[in-house]
Structure 1
């Protein structure tokens, strides 16, 4: 199991890094390994210590 560090982004939020290999499997990276286009995700708190992340299509088009 890979572990990713939770990081302080600003006063009101924190973030976590998603591995590029996983993003590549989803088709979100271009040939140079950069994010291709604009993407949005819905993050939902499921239970104590558990969240889900779901890619949301069609926002901002």
Structure 2
């Protein structure tokens, strides 16, 4: 297959409603992202900045 068309195995994640989750990412400006799925199934995200300057 060509570049970018390869299928890789994944591990699906199922999120529980009304449960807080915290995800870290590789951006030095972001400590992480909190999110919760409410009773209606809506995703609510809250970004936690690190305070690191992008310069």
Q: TM-score, length-normalised on structure 1?
A: 0.27
Q: Give the number of the structure whose residues are more often helix, by fraction.
A: 1
Higher Rg = 2
Q: Which has the higher contact order (CA 8 A, sep 6+)?
A: 2
